[in-house]
Amino acid sequence: MWRQWLDHATRQDSDREIARKAGLTHSTVSRWRNAGTAPAEGIIRIARAYAADPIDALVSAGIITEDDLMNGGLRNAVRHAPTAYLTEELHERVTTGRLHGGFGELRRMFRAWSTR
C-alpha cells in the first residue's frame, strides 16, 4: 500500500525527483520503494515535501493503524480542535450528506453528550 501512496502523492515522480524534493538521496528512495516501506521519518519527509498528509502516509506504510488514530490521535485531536473548526466540519457533513445516520444520529450524539 505504501508504494501506491507514494505514486499517488508524488504524482509518479521519479525516485530522483522525490529525493531532490525531500532532501534525500536517490538510492535511499529507490531502496525504500523496492522494500515497499520506509522509516517513519522518511515517510514524513516525503509527505511534507509533497504537501501530503503524513498521517495517511504512515497508515499506508502500516506504521500506524486506523485503530491507533481512533483510540488516541483522533480523539485527542478532536478534543483540542477549535470549536469553529468542529462546527465547520459538522456543517459540511450535514449539508453534503456525509453525516452517516443524518440528523437522527446527531440528536443521539447530543443526548449522549448531555448526560455526561
Indicate whether 19 belongs to any domain.
yes
Q: Which three three-digit cell numbers place residue 86?
A: 468542529
Indicate if 100 and 54 belong to the same structural domain.
Answer: no
Q: How far apart are CA 81 and CA 70, in angstroms?
A: 15
pLDDT(116) > 70: no
Nearest to 32 by CA among 50, 22, 64, 56: 22
Q: What is the residue range of 92's domain?
A: 81-114
Indicate if 7 and 44 belong to the same structural domain.
Answer: yes
* pLDDT, tens only, 41-79: 999 999 999 999 998 999 999 998 888 777 776 677 778
* pLDDT, tens only, 8-53: 999 999 999 999 999 999 999 999 999 999 999 999 999 999 999 9
- The fraction of the chain above a pLDDT of 90, given in percent, is 50
What sign does the CA torsion over 84, 90, 93, 96 have? negative
pLDDT(110) > 80: no
In this prediction the pTM is 0.65
Indicate if 95 and 55 belong to the same structural domain.
Answer: no
